[in-house]
Each structure stands twice: as C-alpha cells, then as structure tokens.
C-alpha cells in the first residue's frame, strides 16, 4: 500500500478517495484528477486575534473549523493577526494529526475565514463568523463577535456554515446552487434566522437523567464535540461496537491518524472526559440484552441505517431525538410521545423490496449481468474469501490496475466492500462516478446534524422550550440558508407502523405512566425481538 500514500505527498489526505466518493454525488461532471487539482489550487486561511482565540467560543469555532477543513483542503494556513498565541500551535498540530501531508506554510489565500472581531485586510473571498451562546453569526463584509460561554452550539454552527460556504465557493462551477450566504444570524435554540431568532438561556446544568447515545459515526462525533465542557449530570450511556478505520477520517471530526484501529467508544470517552459517561463498545441490540431493564428514559440516535433506528424505537424509550443526513439535508427529528406523536418508524418504515447486500456489492463493482450477480451471492453464501479470479474480474470490468486490488486477496467480501467501495478506493482508481455508491455526506453536513442533536438534547433535558416543537428541523448546507427549516410529520398509517399497534401502545403507557426517572425493576411484560425487523411481539406470562 506504499504507493497509495506516496500519491498523496503533495498535501492531499490519504483518505481522499472516500472524500471524493461523497463529492462525486453532488458535483456535476466529476473527475477525480480534476478534483485533486482544484483542491491543490486553493489556499484556505483562518484568521483570528488573541482576544478571539483565547475566548471559549472563539477557540471552539477555530477548533471545529480546523477539524472540518483539514480533512479536505491540502493548503491550510492559520494566522493570529496580532502576534503569537499558544492556541495557534495546538491548532496546527491538530491539522497535522488529521492529515500529516497538509501544507501549513503561509501562502496568498484564495479563500479566508475571519473568526471574531478581528481586523484584517484580504484580497480574496472572505467569510466573517462569530457566535453568542446559542446564536451563530455569518457575514460577507464585517467581523462578528465571539462570546466566552461554555455553550458551543453557536460556535460550532458558525464553523459549519463557513465550511459550507468555502465548499460552494471552491466548487462553484460544479454545484447547482453555489451562491454564498448573505449576512444572517441562526439560532440553535429555535432553528430560526435573523429577526425570528431566539437566544436560549445560559447553560448552568444539563441533567441527563438516564440518556443513551447510540452511534458514534460522523453525527455522533459532532454531537460529542458539542457536549464537551458542558456541566453534565446524570448518566450518559454511549454505545458503538465499531473501530476507527482510515476511511472514517473523511468526516469523523474527532478522529485523527493515531486513532485508526481503536474503538470508537475509547476515542469518544477520552475526548468527552466526563464522569457521567458510561461506555459500551458493542451494538444497541447487545446493550439492550445486557441492560437490567428496558426502561430507557431518553435515546439520542446517531446511527446510519433505518433498521437500527427501528430497533431503538422498538425498545420503547420514553423520548427519542433522532439526527440524520440525507442528500442535501441534515437535521433532527423529535419523538417525545409514542402515543400521540409520529414515532421514529413513521419516518423510516420498512421497505418490502430492499436490495440484498450481495446485490449492492455486485452493482457497486459493475457486475450488471445476472450470472455475475449470482456469483457474488455464492461467494457470500459460502463465506468464500476474495480470491485472485475475482480480483482479476473486478479489475477487468472496472479497468483498474490489478496490483491496487491484490492486497485484498484473502479478505472477506464484506471487508472488501467496506474498504474498497465504501472507503473510496475504487473511486480513486476509476477517477469518476462510482457505480452503486452509497450516500456519503460532507463532513460539515454530518457535524451540523450532530450539533443540532446536542442542542435538542440540552433543550429537552432542561425542558427549556415553552412551545411544542415541530417534528423535524432541517438545513441544506449545499445551498444558501432559508427562513423555513421545519417540517410537520403525521403518524404513519395503522398497517405500517408499530405506534398503531395496541400491544406496543399499551406497553408504552404502562412503562411511562406517572414515571419521571428510570425504575430499577426488570421488564417481564413484553419482549421485542431485536433481530427481527418486523418487531415480532412475544408476550411472556
């Protein structure tokens, strides 16, 4: 694999293939070589002064902005405009930990971000950002103040808005709506902009009660980044059974090169560094089977699949906050009353004809003939490892160098799919649109979804909102921000969702009638098979 790293010695990250895989889904006329050259032609500068970088919100914005930009742009220069600051060295080290090849040397910027009330004259496209607790501020023309609170919501959102505008600027010729945002203020408290924004209260204590955070992918990383430093109390159970691999660095804002191979819970626990956290390095179904009872008060959901979301809803927590990304969308949905409101499964109903994994793998490899698709099915059914004949066939059909695929001989087809197809290796080798590619959002989209989830979690824990919220709050960061960011959702029909099932409704009512905190008793009334996507109900005597 030495040649793989050698090709990125000009500043481009060694996980650029996964980044390109995501970019190819939103950029027209995508070409991998042109994608690399365009990135290399841009110099991104982040500017701040000592006062800004030494404020808590200003530093938080700079920290997240580096975590967002160092994953994509090979030329990144950080500048403290009024002298040296110790924080600058930390941020440079962070950028190198993410992409060891990044060029941090000063160069004439093509795009710049100015954080806080910082005076600077730049002859390039410049974005000015700041924050004030729950509020995120963006301007094309004048500096914006950064506050000094422990609240990271506005600060983190400001970084995401800046990263989104840089992306639209750099790739303006390949995006359908590449206009820059005009000056605006966005509230992470009520999801509104400008005159409709609402400043939330100061955060003095976040009583989590018994909260479970499921999934430490890109959204979960964004949520945990946002929660750091908040005065948390109660219990936060953090669940994920996977380890970090190289392709994860494309959009996991907490992951660095040193984290590859380590469990996600280990990385997250070290970053959050809070006594309220309890780490569970396995999947939700195993967690629920080990738990002494099924009475989970609140679940924050950051998983990737609809199936896993349905499993969470099937365990009947009292309250669920669900974060998600979709093509040109990121957001959260709120599910606070299973009896009256739309449940999670209303948004993610089971599909009768979902593609099998073998068919997904076959299509992603360009195997369109039924005979070839059946061959992949047989490999999986028999547990046959990837062998030389299969590698030869893949290389021939996709017209790629067989030597690039040879190191995967002997691995399972599932690992090959995860590392080569989902990891962006095939994208790098073919240099264009990848067949059967799954959705890969940009890092600023996933991080913003995590920030929105963390904000909603804090709001719900403190019951800070006076009015009942809409089910869905969303943003499209690939286009200029709009005023309307909410959706109402109705319950699904009775035939398709468990929230109309009388047994589930009765069990939920029994579990949560007059309850505020989690009881210690063991659930012996109803078991839901977590391995059955249809939630077969088994009533025990």
Under the banding of pLDDT at 50, 70 and 90, the label for residue 87 is: very high
State the Cα–Cα distance between residues 421 and 427, nearest whole angstrom: 7
Tell me the per-residue pLDDT of 179-222, one tens digit each, with 9 for 90 and over.
999 999 999 999 999 999 999 999 999 999 999 999 999 999 99
Distance from the first to the final alpha carbon of the chain: 58
Q: Which two tokens stand for residue 221?
A: 């990383």
Q: What is the pTM of this model?
A: 0.85
User: Is the separation of the CB atoms in 348 and 535 below 8 Å?
Assistant: no
User: Is the separation of the CB atoms in 135 and 186 below 8 Å?
Assistant: yes
DSSP labels, 273-342: --TTEEEE-S-HHHHHHHSS----SEEEE--S-HHHHHHHHHT--SEEEEEEEETTEEEEEEE--TTTS-
Burial 338-370 (b: 16+ CB within 10 A, else e): beebbbbbbbbeeeeeeeeebebbbbbbbbeee
Pick the residue with more confidence: 418 or 332?
A: 332
Is the per-residue pLDDT at 40 higher than 60?
yes
Superfamily of domain 32-196: NAD(P)-binding Rossmann-like Domain (3.40.50.720)
Residues 6+ apart with CB under 8 A from 148: 55, 56, 57, 58
Q: Give residue limits of the domains in the chain.
A: 32-196, 206-351+443-516, 366-430
pLDDT at 260: 95
SS3 215: coil
Q: In this structure, is the dihedral angle defined by the CA atoms of residues 259, 260, 261 and 265, taken in order, positive or negative? A: positive
SS3 238: strand
Q: In this structure, is the dihedral angle defined by the CA atoms of residues 341, 345, 348 and 350, taken in order, positive or negative? A: negative
State the Cα–Cα distance between residues 449 and 487, nearest whole angstrom: 16
State the Cα–Cα distance between residues 516 and 170, nearest whole angstrom: 50
- The Cβ-side half-sphere exposure at 412, using a 13 Å CA radius, reads 8
Tell me the per-residue pLDDT of 364-401, one tens digit each, with 9 for 90 and over.
888 888 888 888 888 888 888 889 888 888 888 888 88
> What is 206-351+443-516's CATH number?
3.40.50.720
Under the banding of pLDDT at 50, 70 and 90, the label for residue 524 is: very low
State the Cα–Cα distance between residues 445 and 478, nearest whole angstrom: 9
CATH topology match: 32-196 vs 206-351+443-516: yes
Is the per-residue pLDDT at 516 higher than 80?
no
Is the per-residue pLDDT at 523 higher than 70?
no
Tell me the per-residue pLDDT of 135-146, one tens digit each, with 9 for 90 and over.
999 999 999 999
**What angle separates helix 264-272 from helix 218-227, to the nearest 10 degrees?**
20
Q: What is the mean pLDDT of the chain?
A: 87
Q: Closest by alpha carbon to 129, among 121, 197, 140, 119?
A: 140
User: Is the separation of the CB atoms in 333 and 344 below 8 Å?
Assistant: yes
Tell me, what DSSP letter sits at residue 263? Answer: B
Strands across the sheet containing 125-132:
76-80, 44-48, 111-115, 125-132, 135-139, 184-187
Is the per-residue pLDDT at 517 higher than 90?
no
């Amino acid at each position: 694999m030495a040649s793989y790293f050698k090709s990125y010695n000009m500043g481009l990250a060694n996980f650029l293939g996964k980044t390109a895989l995501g970019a190819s889904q939103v950029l027209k006329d995508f070409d991998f070589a042109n994608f690399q050259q365009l990135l290399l032609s841009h110099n991104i500068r982040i500017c701040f002064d000592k006062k800004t970088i030494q404020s808590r919100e200003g530093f938080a914005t700079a920290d997240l902005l580096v975590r967002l930009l160092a994953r994509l742009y090979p030329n990144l220069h950080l500048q403290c405009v009024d002298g040296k600051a110790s924080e600058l060295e930390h941020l440079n080290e962070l950028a190198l930990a993410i992409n060891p090849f990044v060029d941090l040397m000063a160069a004439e910027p093509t795009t710049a971000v100015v954080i806080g009330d910082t005076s600077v004259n730049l002859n390039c496209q410049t974005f000015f950002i700041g924050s004030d607790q729950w509020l995120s501020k963006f301007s094309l023309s004048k500096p914006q103040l950064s506050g000094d609170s422990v609240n990271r919501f506005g600060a983190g959102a400001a970084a995401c808005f800046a990263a989104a505008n840089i992306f639209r600027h750099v790739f303006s010729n390949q995006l359908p709506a590449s206009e820059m945002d005009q000056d605006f203020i966005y509230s992470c408290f009520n999801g509104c902009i400008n005159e409709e924004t609402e400043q939330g209260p100061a955060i003095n204590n976040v009583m989590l009660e018994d909260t479970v955070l499921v999934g430490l992918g890109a959204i979960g990383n964004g949520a945990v980044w946002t929660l750091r430093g908040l005065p948390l109390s109660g219990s936060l159970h953090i669940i994920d059974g996977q380890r970090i691999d190289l392709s994860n660095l494309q959009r996991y804002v907490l992951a660095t090169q040193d984290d590859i191979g380590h469990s996600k819970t280990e990385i997250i626990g070290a970053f959050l560094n809070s006594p309220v956290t309890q780490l569970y390095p396995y999947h939700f179904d195993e967690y629920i089977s080990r738990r002494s009872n099924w009475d989970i008060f609140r679940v924050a959901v950051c998983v990737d699949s609809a199936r896993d979301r349905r499993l969470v809803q099937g365990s009947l927590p009292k309250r669920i906050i669900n974060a998600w990304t979709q093509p040109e969308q990121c957001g959260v949905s709120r599910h606070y009353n299973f009896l009256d409101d739309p449940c999670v499964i209303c948004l993610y109903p089971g599909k009768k004809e979902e593609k099998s994994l073998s068919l997904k793998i076959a299509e992603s490899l360009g195997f369109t003939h039924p005979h070839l698709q059946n061959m992949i099915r047989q490999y999986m059914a028999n547990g046959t490892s990837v062998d030389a004949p299969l590698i030869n066939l893949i290389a021939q059909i996709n017209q790629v160098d067989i030597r690039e695929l040879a190191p995967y001989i002997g691995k399972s087809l599932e690992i090959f799919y995860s590392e080569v197809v989902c990891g962006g290796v095939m994208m790098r080798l073919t240099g264009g649109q990848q067949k059967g590619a799954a959705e890969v959002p940009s890092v600023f989209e996933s991080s913003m979804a995590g920030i929105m989830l963390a904000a909603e979690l804090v709001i719900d824990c403190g019951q800070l909102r006076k009015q009942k919220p809409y089910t869905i709050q969303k943003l499209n960061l690939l286009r200029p921000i709009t005023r309307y960011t909410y959706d109402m959702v109705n319950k699904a029909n009775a035939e398709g969702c468990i929230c109309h099932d009388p047994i589930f409704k009765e069990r939920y009512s029994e579990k949560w009638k007059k309850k505020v905190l989690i009881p210690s008793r063991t659930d012996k009334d109803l078991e839901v098979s977590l391995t059955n996507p249809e939630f077969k109900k088994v009533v025990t005597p």
